Every structure is written in C-alpha cells, then in structure tokens.
Structure 1
Amino acid sequence: MVSRFNYSRWDGTQRGFEFDAQSIVDEITDDLLYHGDVNAALRRLMQEGMRNERGDQLMGLREMMQRLRERREEIKDRGDLGGVYSEISAELDDLVDEERHAIDEALMSAEQSGDQRRAEVAKESAQERNFRLDMLPSDLAGKINELEHYDFQSSESKQRFEALLEKLRQQIMQQMLDQMSGAVENLTPQDIQRMKDMMAALNEMLESRERGEDPKFEQFMENFGDFFPENPETLDELLEIMAQRMANAQAMLNSMTPEQRDQMRQLSEKLLEDMDLRWQMDQLSQKLQGMFPQKGWGQSHEFTGDEPMGFSQAMQAMQELGELDQLDNLLRNASSPSALAEADLDRVREMLGEDAAKSLEQMAQLTKKLKDSGLIDQVEGKLELTPSGLRKIGANALRDVFGSLEKDRLGQHQVERLGVGHERTYDTKPYEYGDPFQLDLQRTLRNALQRQGSTVPLKLSADDFEIEQTEHLTRSSTVLMLDLSLSMPMRDYFLPAKKVAMALHSLMSTQFPRDYLGIVGFSEVARELTPQQLPEVSWDFVYGTNMQHGFMLARKMLSRQSGTKQIIMITDGEPTAHISKSGDVFFNYPPVRETVEATLSEVMRATREGIRINTFMLDASHALQAFIEQLTAINHGRAFFTSPENLGEYLLVDFIEHKRQLSRRRGSRRAS
C-alpha cells in the first residue's frame, strides 16, 4: 500500500519540535555517569538546555535568566521616577503663570481707570499676590498647600486649580487602589465605597481563618470577584495576588528618593480624607507582609532613563518588574523540571518571547517523558534509573566508545549479535532430530530442487532440511576493577573509565550473555558493585589506591564462576593502601614496600588460580610503570598505557580479540 502524506502551511498549531526521551537520555548520559545522580543530571540539563538530533534548541534556564536581566534593564531605561507627578506639576506651573498674567492685567486695568485709589489698592494687591507666588515651595505638596490658602485673582485659574486637585486626588487614590484591584479605573464615589467594603470583607476573612472558622471565600468571590480578573480559586491564591500588587507599589516607593517619598506621603495625607480606607489598607499590608515575606517588600529599582515617567507609566513598570522577579525566583529555585509547570506561559511569552515559553513548557515535561518511557522511576522521593534506563545508558556508552574506533580495528564491521550460548560457523548440516531448527533456507531450497527438479509448486520433505551449524561459545568470567580514588576525577579520568565500564557491561549483556561480569570499585578499600549500582557510582572522597583488597574481592567473585577467568583493572596510580594482618587499612604516599608486597602477594594467588590480570593505566608515571612490570612478570597478563581518549578503544578491542582467540583455540582443538 502506497503511503500518502498531506502537507499544509505552518499555522502555529502544529507540533513538530519535540524533545523525546531518547534525545533527553542521550544528553544526560555523560553527566549521569560522572555524578551518578538522575536528579542532578536533570537539573544541569535544565540550566544548560540542549539540542535534539534535528538541531532544535531547548533553551536552558541560564539563558532565560539572562533574558530576564536584559528585560529588566529595558524597563528601567524607560524613564525617571522623578516625573511621577510631572504632568500635574507642569500644569500647576502653567496655572501660576496664568495667575500672574491675570494679576498684571488687573493692575494695568486699574491704572488706566483714572481712579487713583483703585490703582493704589490694585498695586498693593498685585505686590502681595506676586510675593506669595514668588515664595511658593518648589515641591508639589508644598506648592499645593500654599495655593489652597491663596486668594486667586483669576476665577479661571481657581477653577483650574480645583480641577487639578481632584485629578491629583484621583491619581493618589488610584495608586492605593491599584494595590487592591486589577479591574478598577476612573473611580467614582460608588467604586471607592465598594473598594472599602471589599477590603473590610477581606480583612474579616483573614481574621475568621485565624480563629479557625470558615472564611467563606466563595461568598466573597460572588460579591467582589470583579476586582480580581485573575480569577483566583482559593483564598491563598487571592492573598498571593494581593501581596504581589502591594509589594509592587511598595517597590515603587522604595525606588524613589527620600524627598520624593516624603512628598507622596504629604500629598496622601493632605488629599485623602478617607481615614477608614487607609486604615483597612494598612491592616491588610501588615498581614500580607507577614504571610508572604518572600515577595520582596524591600525591593527597589534604579531607573536610568532621561524622560520623566508619569504615574501610570511608573505603576506599569513596577508591575512588569514584579512579574519578572516572580519568574526569576521560580527559575532560580526550581529543583526539578516539574516545578517549572507553575510558570504562566502566556506571561513568559510576552516577557521573554515565544522560544523561551516553548522551551519552558517542554522542559517542565522532561521527567514525565522519561517516566512514561519507562527509563526512570520515583523511588522513596528520588529519581532512579529503571532496568530499561540502565540498559539505555549502557548502550549509549557502548555507542560512544565504538563510535570513536577506526573501522579497521574491528575488521571494518560491527560486532555480530550472537545467539544465546552459540556462535555461527557459517557451515551447514542435514537436519537431525534434536538439532536446533536454525534453517538455512537457501541450501534447503537447493536440496529440494536437486531432488525434484524445476517442477512447480516446489514440495519440501524432511530430507531437504539443512540447518546452520553452530559451536558452543567458550564461556569466560571477567571482573572489572575500577579505580574510584580521588585522583581519578582530579585528572579528568573518572568519566572515561566509568563510561568504559558501562560499555563493557552493555557489550557482555547483549553480545555475550553467557559470560560473567563482576565489578569491583576500589579506593582506600574495595567493594563489590552490581550493574544496577554502576550508573550512580561516584568517586570516593578519600585518598588511597587499595589494589590488594580489590584483587582479593575479585578472586573471591571468580572462585564461584567457571570458564576462563580474567581481571581487567583500570587505574591511574600505583598501590598506596592495603589491608593489614590486623584487618585495618594502611595508607601511605608514596607507596611503601609493605603495600607493594601485599598487593603482589594477591597477584600471585590470582596467578595460581589461573586468573589473568590485564591492566589499563591512565597515567604512565615511572612509579606506576615499574609496579605494573612486576605485576605482569608474575601474572603474564597484558599492560596497556592509555589516555582517557583511547581507553575504550584499547579495552573493548582487547576484550573482543580475547573472545575470538578463545573461540579459535576451541575450534582448533575440535578439529584435531
């Protein structure tokens, strides 16, 4: 059946840039192997971001927070807070100029009237008015206070002044009420009264909850829900919204100079006569500061723009800065991808762009995708690899190691996947009862044709069956000794060594499933490790390279196994620790003769038991070379001086060649 595909123009609804579990695991493999912690690996992925195989970018939190900083600077560069009341202040100055002009006109009219008494009174009045205008304070609050007691010459100027007072009163009231509601503009006396009722009800709800009573949140929302366009679903959500609004307003005050704050205080005291409203607000502010101390009540911002900002502009800037601070706090404190789901993606899109919002949405799904794919699971509050995840990490390590090999190192082909317990010889034989039915179809059909001729249809009989001949694979038992001493990560050897350990485990469990692989980690002392523990194994924060104890455990593990036996040791230093006859750990650097002899004694025991020791050295120091020469002279194993870059190449190629040699030797014995 022919596949059909329909193509359409991109309209923003299609979802083509996904990050699947495969690409996530590929990204965290090295980090997981190095630190041994799924949670830590995901946190670092969150910080740095990633690209999938198609080149799509998942933006990391570090880049997002840089955008946040840049966005903050853009907002702060919009203007100067000194202009919060600049518009009214400018109108007031224009009004004073208009009053001076009216004074001059009245004086000129009196002087031209021919009435000397009138002219004298007008001149005296003009001098007094001009003197009072000359002595007006420079600050807005002081200027308003003086003009309220000033006898205007012009009735038009007096009317303009009263209109300005009402406008200023509305602005100050709006400033206060903006802290309480996101849905009230152009206040009327009825609006102000409803606001007072709402705040009284809100304070009563808090007091009811403190007394352990039902705060009746649903009833409150029925009466006053229109004040909250965010539509909070619980009392806690509502209080957090209110706390953020009031914290934004407080941040604006904190960002002003002391003189500007004092001016605003004076204006508020002078123009707001509603003491009940101010009391309700003070009560609520005190409670919210105690409930939400993390909202940044002491936050302040330094505005660097040149243009004076109006009051509404300043409040808008504070709201945006508050939202940026909230997002910054969320990103900075997110301990897992799922914590990012709390972000408001619409606001992130507005503040940081579509790519950031999309990245944040997908990043919040990282843990879920890995869980849904069966690669990780939650165990006692901690994320851990599942058996499937363990196999995936091992396969990645094996792929990375083999990906760096030159083709001719493995005969220019990938290692064949072998059947369980058997190895193909590419020979065939007639089928006999009891043989594994691994049919060679080509030879079977050829036998039928030779017997029957070209007559169709071709009929098969039991005598035609020919099967692939196999020989039993020689079993081998291996213990990998992995150096976990502190010098390994200090020299950047730990990750390559652990990756090779994972790769070897993956290779043996898939290609040579009958073989045995044990793992021993050694530093000051040695310990047996299971394959399940291997991804989470990290270096030990102790000094000491106790090969003697490692060989002791490896011998014990191999004593329970059959087949050819070998120990593969990866290390970067000579032995500096051993277990004394009393059972205590003895450590000394540089190595002392007692430690070297104790270690070589274990080598001799391994040699007598038929165990070969192959050593891969990551630091070709003179002392290490001298020790390994003694070891190989006793055991007749092989020694490789390698670097972190070619450790996997040396070790895995040597292991596979060892398997081939065992198979060839067995084949030769059977032929003879």
Structure 2
Amino acid sequence: MLERFFRRRYGYSRWDGTQQLEGLDADDILKALSDDYLENGNLQQAMKRLMQEGVRGEDGRRAMGLRELMDRLRRQRNEMLNRYNMASGVMDDLRQKLDEIKQMERSGIQQRLERQGAESPAEEQQSNGQQGEGMQQSSEGEQSGAGQQGEEGQQSSEGEQSGDGLSPEQKRRMLEAIAKRKLDYLDSLPKDIPGQMKKLSEYDFMDAQARQKFQELMDSLQQQMMQQFFQGMQQSLRSMSQEDVTRLREMIRDLNKMLRERREGHEPDFDSFMQKHGQYFPGVNSLDDLIEQMQMQSAAMQGILDNLSPEQREELQQLSDQLLGDDRIRVDMMEMFAHLEALAPMDDIRTRFPFRGNETLPLNEALRMMGRMQQMEGLEDELQEARRLDDLEAIDSQKVKELLGDEEYQSVEQLKELMKMLEEAGYIEKRGNRWELTARAIRKIGQKALQDIFNKLKRDGFGRHVVPYRGTGGDRTDESKPYQFGDPFLLDLEKTMMNAVTRQGAGTPVRLTQDDFEVYRTEYSTQSSTVLMIDMSLSMVYNGCQQAAKKVAIALESLIRSQFPRDNLYVVGFSFVAREYKPHELIELSRYDNDRGTNMAHGLMLARQLLARHRGVNKQIIMITDGGPTVWYEERYGGWQFAFPSPYAEQQTLLEAQRCTREGITINTFMLYDDDYMIAFVNQLSQINRGRTFYADRDNLGEYLLVDYLNSKRKFVH
C-alpha cells in the first residue's frame, strides 16, 4: 500500500547550465528585440541584431546567436590546432608501429632459439620432422623474398630437406644460421617507411604474432588510402577476392567515363551509375555531391601532406602508390584525379591548418581530423554568409550538431524559426516585402517597458507615498470598517461572522444583526490629463538619453491605457519645433527623428493647447530634457531662431510657464544633465510654476517619472 505513495520521487538540484529546458517562445523573442526596436524603430535591424547576439529568456532558456556560434567554432578549432601535431605525427606513428613489429619479430626469433636449446634429446627426436619442415619453410621463404641465395643458405636448405638425417646439434646450428640471416635482414632494412613496408611485405616472419601485426597494418593502411575516395570500401585490396578487385576496377572506369562526360558538357547517367556502384558512395544523391565528397576527402590527405616536411611528404606519397598495388587501378585513379582537378580545382578548397601541438595521431585519425577541420572551415563560411545576407537557411543545422553539439544545433533551429514563431503568435505581419509589428506586439512592448521600470522600483525600494485619505467610491483596499448607511456594500464576510460569534457566543445558528456587518474601505481615484514632453534634440542622442525617454513614454502610455483608461495622455516631442506624436507613432521613433535645437517654448505652448481641451482640475506636464532652451520665435525674421545660449529662448519659455501656471497646469521637469546653467534655469521655472524638478540619470529616469505620476494620480478620501 505504501508503494502507491512513494512510487514517484522527485529530486531537485542546483541549475548548472547542463539541464535541458523547453525552447524559447514568441514572448521571449519579442522581449529580446524590444529594447533594440525602441531605440531604432526598425524591425529588420532589430531582428538582424537579435540573430547576431541570440535570445535569452528570463528563466534561463536561450538560443545562441551567430556571433557566439562562430566564437565556439573558432575556439574548438584552435584547441585542436594547439593539441595535435601533424608535421611528424603521422609518419612517426607508422615508424613506431614498424619498430614494434620488428622488435616483436626479433623477440620471437630469440625465444625460438632459447626453446631449441632447452629441449631434451628425447623431445628433439620427437619433433625432428616438424622442426625440420618449419625451418625449411622459413629458409625458403626468406631466401626467395630477400633474394639471398648464397652457398650457406643453399646448404642449410638442403640439410633441412634431409629431415630425419639431422642430429640435434646440426638442427641447432641450422636454426642459428637462419635466425642470424633474418636478424641481419631486419638490420639491413631501409630507413624510409615505404622501403621498410616493401621489404617486410617480402619477408617471411618467424614470429606468428609479428606476421599478423604486419598484415593488419598493411590492410589498415590500404583500406584508409582507398577510403579517401570511396567511403564504402570496407576491406583492403589484399583481402579482396579477384572478383571484388574486378568490380572495383570496373567502378573506377565507369566513374572516369562519367567525369569525362561532365567535363565535355554532357549530363551523365548518374542514377544508373549509383544503381551499379552505389555501395562505394553512401549518402550521395547527385554527381555534384559525389564530386564534392571526393574533393573534400582528397583535400583531407592534401592537408596532411601540407603539414609534412618535403622528405616526409615524398615518403607518404610513395607509400600510397605502393599500397594501391594493382598497376591498372593506380593508372585509372590517376585519370580520376585529373578529372576531379579539372571539375573542382583543389586550390578552391585547400586550406593550410597550422597544427602546433604535441599529441600525435595515426593516419586514419589524422584523416578524420583533417576532414573535421575542413568541415569546420565550411561551417564558418556558412555562418559568415548567414550574417552577411541575413539568411539562416544557409546554415546546415546537421553539420552544426555534428561539429559543435546538441545545444548549438537547438540554437540554430530556434533562430531559423524566429520569424515564424512571431507571425504565428500574431506579433508581426508581412506588408509588401517588409515585416511590421502588429498592434498586439506594440502593446506587448509597452507592457515590457512598464515591467522593466516597475521591476527596478521593487528592487530599489521606491514607495508610493500613499496619503491617508479614505472614502466612498473607487477601488477596494484591504482594510475594513463597520458598515454605515450609504457605504458600498463590499462585505468582509469573515469579520462580519466573527463579530456575530463574539457577540452571541458559540453555537448555531449564527444570527446576524446590523451592527455585525463590516465592509471594505475604498480609495478614491481621480482623473487626470497629462502631456509628456520629450526633448528630441541631437544632444539626447549624443548623451544616450533618447532610448530611456522613449521607453518611459511607451511605458506611461501602456500604464494609462491598462490601469487608468479614463485618463488623457498626450506626447509632444520638441527639438527645433514641437509636434504631437500619436500613441502608435511612439514605437516608430528613432534617433533619425531628432533634430538640432531645444524649442521648449513651442513644446509648452502645444502642451497647454492640448490640455485646454479638458475641464478636469488635474492637469500636468511631464518634461524630460537634458538641456536648456535654445530656440525662440523672432517675428521680424519670420520664424524660429536657434542659438546657444539664448536669453530670448529662456524668456519665451518662462513666459509659457507663466501661462501654464495661470491655467492650473503643473510642470514637473526631469533633468538628465545638471550643469550650473541648466540648474539656474530650471530653478526659475520651478519658482514660477511651483512644479517639481528631478535630477536623474538615464537609467533611473523611468523610476522617478512613474513614481511621480502614480503619486499625483491616486489619493485616499473619507
């Protein structure tokens, strides 16, 4: 029974970055691009930068951008270059394996001599026939392979062939002679690797394990050489039957015929070729794919050769020719190389990789490493093209997964789906050839701007400065009071019942009287009309204040629309002249809308005219600026004039402030720069209007502005 309760157990651990989360959603993407869009008003540019920098959700979910993907790719490639050594690694590995095989053979010969010397006469007599036969085979094989047909060798061979007529002492001396010739043969091997491979292929090993190791090395090298070009080769030429070799020759001839036809401008019958020889080219779907695959494989070998010294390069090339063995196959493959070079020149993809590490690699691993490095080079080109052309489809996601990993693969897939996700969520729509934000997305961005500001308010501990007024109407609070005739009947049921129980004591039924009723208090909300004046002079852009001011305007508009729908809000931008901006235009504002000059007088005049449309008593202007007035109206010159500093601009601005004061309009000023000249002017403005002045930086502007708006918005009444 208890198993039912303890069957499912859940464990929790600290987030370490390795756990998998659900993918990003459209809201995450819209939030990520909102700040960039607010600054520039260009959706295409914001999306481009988002793809460059990536997306990070608030709960840890993220998609890497193209910049980080390229950094990871380059870092991984540099780690490989710093780790491995191709200059001598491949040839040193082959030389080491050959040394091990030769040492294994020498040890085997010595053990054979020791066993022969330790055998008793009876054991020798029993094994006469077998040993004589073995020595005869060894001597004959070595003499025919190495070309050593001296008199001593012939006498030894003839003696061995006599078999039963040899004494143990004669057999011992014969074995010692054979062992000496084999050791001398091993000592006389050429220094170069191809020469050693050739001589050892003609040598009859005395040690069975050494013979097997050499055959495995030969088979492995031959298979690797063939797999450079034909990925489906699963065995070496040595282990192929005559029928297999015949099919291979036929495939190479057919391939040359097809490549020759392509060079001549014809379209070969690729499908027929693949039906006949497809096992040699897995995963190839077209002749172009086949040419590209063979080109990349050939480039991998060329990359290894480029890292070798001239002597090592010559050795490896000789070894490659030697391992092919069959002269007819070698000639056909030379023709194949010529066709490939003509159709896809090696110089077009040839890249030199400066390996500088210490760790060596065998040939097969070196070929894989070179292939991987070239794939990384190709992937970097794809990422560069995607950045340049804004075309994420140019990136091969599967290649990203193979070279970098699952996390990077998921990021690329999510980046490719950005526009689709936004469109399906109703945040963007296609208008002609351009994507545009919908009204829903604009509201969402406004809410995000508001959330950013209020998150700071909560984090920094700003209060609402609530005044202790209570009364009827408005919004319910969490406090209650005894019910009086005329109160809104917002019943606090819990306190009402407790009052009755306290009055009459325990027991049922609970009888209520008029005095038991308690109702929630309410707070009264006023209606207000506000003009937000935003300085749109060039200095706002230079000082980095424009985006903060724009974000506040959008946030304030979102706040009023969502929480105070009966309020009136206008936005006025002022630079050389002032103009009203409708709410839907705010989102499109960019630095290119800014102009020279700070025409504060015209901005106050336009704000006063807009507020004159309403009869409410709560009227205010919230002005955000980083400088004093620099534009004034000169009738004799027929228009607005600009100068800095300008006493005329100051006089006209203060005159407009007096008119606002007479009409009951409060001017609250948020200064983003506080030199002595500006402080003196703003102090004059405050003395005339009795409004407040806040000196804030661009990071705290939204906090101060919205706190002030809410403070003047709501009050408690009796």
TM-score scaled by structure 1?
Answer: 0.68
Contact 1:50–1:59 (8 Å) recurs in 2: yes
Give the match for residue 642 of structure 1. 696
Q: How does 1:137-536 map to 2 (within 5 A)?
A: 156=203, 175=225, 178-179=228-229, 181=231, 186-187=236-237, 188-202=245-259, 204=261, 218=271, 221-232=274-285, 241=293, 244-257=296-309, 260-261=312-313, 274-289=330-345, 297-306=349-358, 308-335=360-387, 339=392, 342-345=395-398, 348-405=400-457, 409-410=463-464, 423=474, 476-488=528-540, 490-523=542-575, 526=578, 528-536=580-588
Q: Give, in angstroms, the shift of residue 316 of structure 1.
A: 0.6
Q: 2:674 aligns with which of 620, 635, 644?
A: 620
Q: 2:683 aligns with which of 612, 629, 640?
A: 629
Per the alignment, in what secondary structure is the counterpart of residue 481 of structure 1?
strand
Q: Give, in angstroms, the shift of residue 567 of structure 1.
A: 2.9
Contact 1:554–1:567 (8 Å) recurs in 2: yes
> CA distance change for structure 1 residues 67 and 182 in 2, over 3 Å: closer, same or farther?
farther
**CA-to-partner distance for each residue in 1:490-532, whole Å, 9 max, x for gaps?**
5443443333222101111111223332323444555543433
**CA-to-partner distance for each residue in 1:348-382, whole Å, 9 max, x for gaps?**
45543444444444444444333332233444454
Q: 2:627 aligns with which of 559, 568, 573?
A: 573
> CA distance change for structure 1 residues 221 and 392 in 2, over 3 Å: closer, same or farther?
farther
Q: 1:80 aligns with which of 68, 81, 86?
A: 86
Q: 2:713 aligns with which of 641, 659, 663?
A: 659
Taking the aligned partners of 1:652 and 1:154, their CA distance within structure 2 comes to 88
Contact 2:385–2:394 (8 Å) recurs in 1: no
> CA distance change for structure 1 residues 525 and 439 in 2, over 3 Å: closer, same or farther?
same
Taking the aligned partners of 2:634 and 2:318, their CA distance within structure 1 comes to 83
Contact 2:86–2:308 (8 Å) recurs in 1: no
Q: 1:69 aligns with which of 67, 71, 74?
A: 74
Q: Give, in angstroms, the shift of residue 386 of structure 1.
A: 2.2
**CA-to-partner distance for each residue in 1:268-323, whole Å, 9 max, x for gaps?**
78977755543443333443359xx9xx7242112234455333222111111122
Residue identity opposite 1:201 in structure 2: M
Unaligned residue ranges in structure 1 (runs of 5+):
113-129, 414-421, 432-437, 447-455, 457-466, 668-672
Taking the aligned partners of 1:53 and 1:267, their CA distance within structure 2 comes to 59
Q: 1:20 aligns with which of 21, 25, 28?
A: 25
Per the alignment, in what secondary structure is the counterpart of residue 591 of structure 2?
coil
Q: Give, in angstroms, the shift of residue 48 of structure 1.
A: 5.0
Compare 490-499 and 468-477 and name the one that shifted more. Answer: 468-477
> CA distance change for structure 1 residues 341 and 580 in 2, over 3 Å: closer, same or farther?
farther
**CA-to-partner distance for each residue in 1:540-584, whole Å, 9 max, x for gaps?**
476543434544654565566665654322111223456766678
Q: 1:545 aligns with which of 598, 611, 622?
A: 598
Taking the aligned partners of 2:439 and 2:610, their CA distance within structure 1 comes to 23
Taking the aligned partners of 1:249 and 1:586, their CA distance within structure 2 comes to 74
Contact 1:479–1:520 (8 Å) recurs in 2: yes
Residue identity opposite 1:18 in structure 2: G
Taking the aligned partners of 1:601 and 1:56, their CA distance within structure 2 comes to 55
> CA distance change for structure 1 residues 92 and 18 in 2, over 3 Å: closer, same or farther?
closer
RMSD: 5.8
Residue identity opposite 2:424 in structure 1: D
Taking the aligned partners of 1:442 and 1:306, their CA distance within structure 2 comes to 80
> CA distance change for structure 1 residues 171 and 352 in 2, over 3 Å: closer, same or farther?
same
> CA distance change for structure 1 residues 399 and 102 in 2, over 3 Å: closer, same or farther?
closer
Taking the aligned partners of 1:481 and 1:595, their CA distance within structure 2 comes to 17
Contact 1:341–1:364 (8 Å) recurs in 2: no
**CA-to-partner distance for each residue in 1:414-446, whole Å, 9 max, x for gaps?**
xxxxxxxx9559999999xxxxxx996889xx9
Taking the aligned partners of 1:527 and 1:226, their CA distance within structure 2 comes to 74
**CA-to-partner distance for each residue in 1:44-69, whole Å, 9 max, x for gaps?**
55555565454456555555444433
> CA distance change for structure 1 residues 476 and 185 in 2, over 3 Å: closer, same or farther?
farther
Per the alignment, in what secondary structure is the counterpart of residue 694 of structure 2?
strand
Taking the aligned partners of 1:248 and 1:577, their CA distance within structure 2 comes to 70
Residue identity opposite 2:600 in structure 1: M
Contact 1:522–1:547 (8 Å) recurs in 2: yes
Contact 1:183–1:229 (8 Å) recurs in 2: no
> CA distance change for structure 1 residues 310 and 154 in 2, over 3 Å: closer, same or farther?
closer
Taking the aligned partners of 2:311 and 2:578, their CA distance within structure 1 comes to 70
> CA distance change for structure 1 residues 5 and 157 in 2, over 3 Å: closer, same or farther?
closer
Residue identity opposite 1:644 in structure 2: R
Contact 1:428–1:440 (8 Å) recurs in 2: no
Per the alignment, in what secondary structure is the counterpart of residue 707 of structure 2?
helix
**CA-to-partner distance for each residue in 1:391-434, whole Å, 9 max, x for gaps?**
22211221222233367722579xxxxxxxx9559999999xxx
Residue identity opposite 2:683 in structure 1: E
Unaligned residue ranges in structure 2 (runs of 5+):
12-18, 107-141, 157-183, 238-244, 468-472, 478-482, 497-508, 510-518
Taking the aligned partners of 2:609 and 2:272, their CA distance within structure 1 comes to 74
Contact 2:252–2:332 (8 Å) recurs in 1: no
Taking the aligned partners of 2:149 and 2:359, their CA distance within structure 1 comes to 36
Residue identity opposite 2:703 in structure 1: E
Give the match for residue 453 of structure 1. none
Q: How does 1:1-12 map to 2 (within 5 A)?
A: none
Residue identity opposite 1:72 in structure 2: R
Contact 1:337–1:366 (8 Å) recurs in 2: no
Per the alignment, in what secondary structure is the counterpart of residue 404 of structure 1?
helix
Per the alignment, in what secondary structure is the counterpart of residue 229 of structure 1?
coil
The alignment-based identity, stated in percent, is: 36
Highest CA radius of gyration, 1 or 2? 2
Contact 1:81–1:308 (8 Å) recurs in 2: no
Contact 2:41–2:589 (8 Å) recurs in 1: yes
Q: How does 1:50-69 map to 2 (within 5 A)?
A: 52-56=57-61, 58-59=63-64, 61-69=66-74
> CA distance change for structure 1 residues 238 and 155 in 2, over 3 Å: closer, same or farther?
closer
> CA distance change for structure 1 residues 30 and 303 in 2, over 3 Å: closer, same or farther?
same
Residue identity opposite 1:302 in structure 2: P
Q: Give, in angstroms, the shift of residue 390 of structure 1.
A: 1.6
Residue identity opposite 1:619 in structure 2: Y
**CA-to-partner distance for each residue in 1:80-128, whole Å, 9 max, x for gaps?**
2434455666788999x999x979995987999xxxxxxxxxxxxxxxx
Residue identity opposite 1:574 in structure 2: G
> CA distance change for structure 1 residues 328 and 153 in 2, over 3 Å: closer, same or farther?
closer
Taking the aligned partners of 1:583 and 1:229, their CA distance within structure 2 comes to 82
